[in-house]
With several copies, the nearest count.
Chain A
Amino acid sequence: MLNPAVLFFFLGILAVLARSDLEIPQCISKLMSLYLLLAIGFKGGVELSHSSFGTEIAATLLSAVLMSALVPIYTFFVLRRFVPAHDAAAIAATYGSISAVTFITAVGFLQTLEIPSSGYLVAAMALMESPAIIVGLVLYRYVAAGQDVEGDDFAWSRVLREACFNGSVFLILGSLLIGLVTTDAHAASLAPFTDDLFKGVLTLFLLDMGLIAGRRLAALREAGIGLVLFAVVVPLVNAAAGVAITLVLGLGLGDALLFTVLCASASYIAVPAAMRLSIPQANASLYVTLSLAVTFPFNIVVGLPLYLAVLRWVHA
């Protein structure tokens, strides 16, 4: 299935490989991601305002938080065998957290297939960013690190603020709440902006993501084949766990896909920023490259159709 948004992602990668000077200024990337976060949050809130808050929602949100907290634990102990503790903790947090862009691409994917999904998954996304960061740090500071962490100017308050109030979490949750209390008339007047443009902006944004990911490909060699494998296998494992959870929770197909994608995705916005402040020794190039240049493309190209097929099969 030739989705133009995904093709533009490859066009971006190709531009880097062909050494084209095609480039998107960083402030444009920021504009597009602000728009997408606002739109997805707001639409999620509006949808949520039409559904009743029940145990299904509560159970899903709780499972989401748990997944975000548990994934870093198992990945940390796996990673410690191959890389230093600081890198292990940072990568673990990366894979426990989520990628808003992957989620947004999945929403676009469902829209094209006209599979309905619920707004509260947006809340699940926002809630999954921070627990992984906190667990990653706890593992690093109390389980693994020795004299490394003595006498540094680490402050939980600063890290927690960074983890919970970072720009993207803040904007998603804020937009969700605003969407929740907005009347239908107001929401309709914003629809040409939040709805009609969504796919188009996502397309241009994926071109940009392709350029960004493409520029990181060179750093893959440095990471080594082991970690690259890790960046493909862990999403599959997490997705499998996600599928199992959606079965237990009894989610519909669209919601199940979004939940699975959240489990499978890895962060490259919130986590790098938080790690820089709290584990500056960790090699940022490593964890950013794995999530951005391996896991992200894997999820949007192979993952989305694969997870959907599996979900269709287990739901049948």
Chain B
Amino acid sequence: MKPVKRIEIIIDSLDIRMVLQELEDIGISSYSVIRDVIGSGDRGARSGDLLNDAMKNSYILIACDEEQAEKITEALRPKLKRYGGMCLVSDAQWVQH
């Protein structure tokens, strides 16, 4: 098992394309996305019940090494500031295969 950083991002569903583009730009090509997430935060409730993806969040999970984690959080910080959302970093072990 290999120690990795586990990055969780919650961001507006409308911004997901932009974030994935950002990840690609900094060379991250492995990630997982859960598209339908609702919630509540500083910008109020997001109930996910409109006719499009406005008012809905998505969840991104990335397992990567420490250096990449650094890059990702640096790239995301201004986006999170501008568009809202949340980003958590924690530790995990990657089961090698």
Contact = CB atoms under 8 A, between A and B. Distances in A.
**Do the two chains touch directly in the complex (Cβ atoms below 8 Å apart)?**
yes
Interface of A: 21, 26, 29-30, 33, 152-153, 167-168, 211-212, 215, 268-269, 272-273, 276-277, 280, 283-285, 288
Given A29-B49, A268-B50, 15 more contacts: A26-B36, A215-B47, A269-B52, A269-B54, A272-B50, A272-B55, A273-B14, A273-B52, A276-B12, A276-B54, A283-B43, A283-B44, A284-B54, A284-B55, A285-B44
B2 interface: no
B54 A273 contact: yes
A277 B14 contact: yes
Contact of A276 (B14, B44, B45): B14
A276 B32 CA distance: 19
Nearest to B49: A212
B97 interface: no
Contacts of B8: none
Interface of B: 12, 14-15, 36, 43-45, 47-55, 78, 82-84
A152 B82 contact: yes
A280 B83 contact: yes
B79 to A, nearest CB: 8
Nearest to A101: B51
Contacts of B52: 21, 30, 167-168, 269, 272-273
Contact of A273 (B36, B53, B82): B53
Q: Which of A26, A33, A168, A284 has most B Cβ within 10 Å?
A: A26
B21 to A, nearest CB: 11
Query: Which interface residue of A215, A280, A285 has the most chain B CB atoms within 10 A?
Result: A280
Contacts of A276: 12, 14-15, 54, 83
A163 B55 CA distance: 18
Contacts of B84: 280
Given A152-B82, A153-B82, A280-B83, A269 B51 contact: yes
A269 B82 CA distance: 22
Contacts of B53: 21, 273
A26 B48 contact: yes
B86 to A, nearest CB: 15
Nearest to A281: B82
A211 B84 CA distance: 27
B34 to A, nearest CB: 14
A288 B14 CA distance: 16
B82 A212 contact: no
Given A273-B53, A288-B54, A280 B48 contact: no
Among B48, B52, B54, B82, find the residue whose CB has the most chain A CB atoms closer than 10 A.
B52
